[in-house]
Chains A and B, each alone.
Chain A
């Protein structure tokens, strides 16, 4: 691996932000036969923000990105970059930087020629081109790599060259299609931080596609969760994680156990007779309690539900050591198991006990997540 790489890009400049453009997507629809890859999608990407399109494979997130880039022609809809309608604009006139999963570096050109390619197309002369390529190389911390061939680069270096090529001509929008998925875990995590720093430095509106929810949570200003060709939820990572809009989002992002709730006539929602929340004005019949394993803890043997805490009793089924944490499975009845995650450090919560022990698990009322609808989204 490239050991000369420092931990992150040097962030010296303040966000420029002046060149960024908002993207306004309205009613975007793409059908393949009778199947909607995109079903009347509306989406606003703010100027200069880092927005992630997150969804399982086949959800339509890549179709959406390709539509923004101009490589996938929707059936109908509108895409505006700032004031300009671009839905009919060919890709080469959209002025959008794009990074592909495969990097798609040109193997018959060296690093400098790759990065200089968009400048050459814009008729920028040799001397100025060389300066700007050198600046871009500096930004991605690969100064002096200009004369190298592509096959002399490591995976992470290729990734950064692809990135430099996408921003060197000053596009106001940057699109990335799972750019880190080909890297190993360690490098990927480092590149996530670097990309975030770079985004802050360039200030360019960025749309990023991934199926990795952790990556989305790490990098994004906002996340757009896509499923079945529809925009399911659009919000900041914190809100998406803490208040998922429905069971699909709750299940897809983070780990969770879903517990069905009962609703009484007054609108009170309870789990096994313990009230956990209110339906409010929502008249939905089915409700689900979403429990994040790391928000659960082992309560003392005598603990009972009170104003602060909901306590569930059960039997310890299994505890699995996973390195940085430990996962316990607690059966609260014959068909329902709840996962509890806790740290393994010296000051972490003590283990609940041995397999077969009676245990009590607690959940703070502030950590309660309630979503309308059944478990199956």
Chain B
């Protein structure tokens, strides 16, 4: 019996008669992955016009990017804002997720809904709203303003990821620790936190990426010396196709792939325990 005439899992349909599904799935997966990856070889082209495959290979656009004060400055800002957002959203997310998970108070559901509103409210509204409000208090074009707004976006993600971690954790461990002489705070840091660490790391990385990749709020509330990488990229995309973007995109794809693989690796290690 060859593999295609064998029945596929949990139905009597054979792999052979399912072939269409496999082919279709392969095509969809290709469609998902290919567009992002195709930018990578194109960024090494020497041509003004993006070619695939490039006729002459060169690092010209990388030199352009690395040599530009504007791009360098924007990159530094994006990293800075992303990093600070991570530092704000992660601990705040841990605190909120833990409190909402442990508390039996009636208000928890309402608070939870409030804290995830940034996922429901269209980002354009958050963008113009903060732009307007920041205008009143002089926080436009500041790092602090951008970090605060990005933290609001990252918080629901952090809370949901950490809550998922807490759910797969046996809270009676914390009770045991307390009965053995640890205060609640000590029990959290010594017992609970080490065990939800993969969720915490994932939440931190996602918070960073949320900020680093964010476009719309950055367009409105960042600017001048504190404009982000995405703001410059968006401006460049609207006007003309600058191959420098291909080089920057490649760097961003590598960054997010690395972070993704890191969480997958940590996650599988975490489950292995």
**A and B: direct contact (Cβ < 8 Å)?**
yes
Binding site for B on A (CB under 8 A): 69-71, 90-98, 100-102, 104-108, 117-118, 121-122, 151, 165-166, 169, 175
Complex alpha-carbon distance, A92 and B178, angstroms? 5
Instruction: Tell me whether B172 and A122 are in contact (CB under 8 A).
Output: no
The answer, yes or no, to whether B31 is at the interface (CB within 8 Å) is no
CB distance from B197 to the nearest CB of A (A): 9
**Which residues of chain A are within 8 angstroms of B195 by Cβ–Cβ distance?**
106-108
**Which residues of chain A are within 8 angstroms of B177 by Cβ–Cβ distance?**
106, 117
Q: A104-B170, A104-B173 are in contact. Are A169 and B179 (CB under 8 A)?
A: no
B181 partner, pick from A101, A102, A108, A122, beta carbons under 8 A: A122
Q: A92-B183, A106-B191, A107-B195 are in contact. Are A100 and B178 (CB under 8 A)?
A: no
Instruction: Tell me whether A102 and B178 are in contact (CB under 8 A).
Output: no
A91 partner, pick from B172, B173, B175, beta carbons under 8 A: B175
Instruction: Tell me whether B179 and A106 are in contact (CB under 8 A).
Output: no
Instruction: Tell me whether B181 and A98 are in contact (CB under 8 A).
Output: no
Secondary structure at the B interface, as helix, strand, loop or mixed, is helix
Q: A108-B194, A151-B273 are in contact. Are A102 and B183 (CB under 8 A)?
A: no
Q: Mark B34-59, 1 if CB is under 8 A from A, else 0.
A: 00000000000000000000000000
The answer, yes or no, to whether B176 is at the interface (CB within 8 Å) is yes
Q: A91-B175, A104-B173, A106-B191 are in contact. Are A121 and B273 (CB under 8 A)?
A: no
Contact size range, B: 20 to 34
CB distance from B252 to the nearest CB of A (A): 34
CB distance from B176 to the nearest CB of A (A): 4
Instruction: Tell me whether A121 and B175 are in contact (CB under 8 A).
Output: no
| 26 sampled A-B residue pairs with Cβ under 8 A | A70-B179, A71-B178, A71-B179, A91-B175, A91-B178, A91-B179, A92-B178, A92-B181, A92-B182, A92-B187, A94-B179, A98-B175, A98-B176, A104-B172, A104-B175, A105-B173, A106-B195, A107-B195, A108-B194, A108-B195, A108-B273, A118-B180, A121-B180, A165-B176, A166-B180, A175-B179
The answer, yes or no, to whether B6 is at the interface (CB within 8 Å) is no
Question: Which single residue of chain B is at the shortest CB-CB distance from A122?
Answer: B181
Q: Mark B157-176, 1 if CB is under 8 A from A, else 0.
A: 00000000000001011011
Instruction: Tell me whether B175 and A102 are in contact (CB under 8 A).
Output: no
Complex alpha-carbon distance, A97 and B180, angstroms? 6
**Which residues of chain A are within 8 angstroms of B18 by Cβ–Cβ distance?**
none
Instruction: Tell me whether B175 and A100 are in contact (CB under 8 A).
Output: yes
CB distance from A145 to the nearest CB of B (A): 18
The answer, yes or no, to whether B186 is at the interface (CB within 8 Å) is yes
**Which residues of chain A are within 8 angstroms of B191 by Cβ–Cβ distance?**
106
- With A104-B172, A151-B273, A166-B179 known, 4 other A-B pairs at CB within 8 A are A92-B182, A100-B175, A104-B170, A166-B180
**Which residues of chain B are within 8 angstroms of A96 by Cβ–Cβ distance?**
179
CB distance from B193 to the nearest CB of A (A): 10
**Which residues of chain B are within 8 angstroms of A90 by Cβ–Cβ distance?**
178, 183
Complex alpha-carbon distance, A90 and B195, angstroms? 24
CB distance from B198 to the nearest CB of A (A): 11
Interface centre among B175, B186, B190 (most CB of A within 10 A): B175
CB distance from A72 to the nearest CB of B (A): 10
Instruction: State the 9 A-B residue pairs at the shortest beta-carbon distance, nearest first.
Output: A118-B180, A98-B179, A121-B181, A104-B176, A104-B172, A91-B178, A104-B173, A100-B172, A108-B194
A-B contact count (CB 8 A): 70
**Which residues of chain A are within 8 angstroms of B180 by Cβ–Cβ distance?**
92, 97-98, 117-118, 121, 165-166, 169
**Which residues of chain A are within 8 angstroms of B172 by Cβ–Cβ distance?**
100-102, 104
Question: Which single residue of chain B is at the shortest CB-CB distance from A149?
Answer: B273
Instruction: Tell me whether A169 and B176 are in contact (CB under 8 A).
Output: no
**Which residues of chain B are within 8 angstroms of A105 by Cβ–Cβ distance?**
173
Instruction: Tell me whether A107 and B175 are in contact (CB under 8 A).
Output: no
Complex alpha-carbon distance, A70 and B194, angstroms? 24
Complex alpha-carbon distance, A97 and B181, angstroms? 9
B167-223 interface (Cβ within 8 A of A)? 170, 172-173, 175-184, 186-187, 190-191, 194-195
CB distance from B134 to the nearest CB of A (A): 43
Complex alpha-carbon distance, A151 and B270, angstroms? 13
**Which residues of chain A are within 8 angstroms of B178 by Cβ–Cβ distance?**
70-71, 90-92
Q: A104-B173, A107-B273, A151-B273 are in contact. Are A97 and B179 (CB under 8 A)?
A: yes
**Which residues of chain B are within 8 angstroms of A104 by Cβ–Cβ distance?**
170, 172-173, 175-176
**Which residues of chain B are within 8 angstroms of A169 by Cβ–Cβ distance?**
180-181
CB distance from A300 to the nearest CB of B (A): 58
Instruction: Tell me whether A71 and B170 are in contact (CB under 8 A).
Output: no
Instruction: Tell me whether B176 and A100 are in contact (CB under 8 A).
Output: yes
Complex alpha-carbon distance, A102 and B176, angstroms? 11
Complex alpha-carbon distance, A97 and B172, angstroms? 14
Instruction: Tell me whether A121 and B186 are in contact (CB under 8 A).
Output: yes
Instruction: Tell me whether B175 and A106 are in contact (CB under 8 A).
Output: no
Instruction: Tell me whether B194 and A121 are in contact (CB under 8 A).
Output: no
**Which residues of chain B are within 8 angstroms of A92 by Cβ–Cβ distance?**
178-184, 186-187
**Which residues of chain B are within 8 angstroms of A94 by Cβ–Cβ distance?**
179
Instruction: Tell me whether A106 and B181 are in contact (CB under 8 A).
Output: no
B62-80 interface (Cβ within 8 A of A)? none
Complex alpha-carbon distance, A94 and B183, angstroms? 11
Question: Which single residue of chain B is at the shortest CB-CB distance from A69?
Answer: B179
Q: A71-B175, A100-B175, A151-B273 are in contact. Are A121 and B170 (CB under 8 A)?
A: no
CB distance from B129 to the nearest CB of A (A): 42
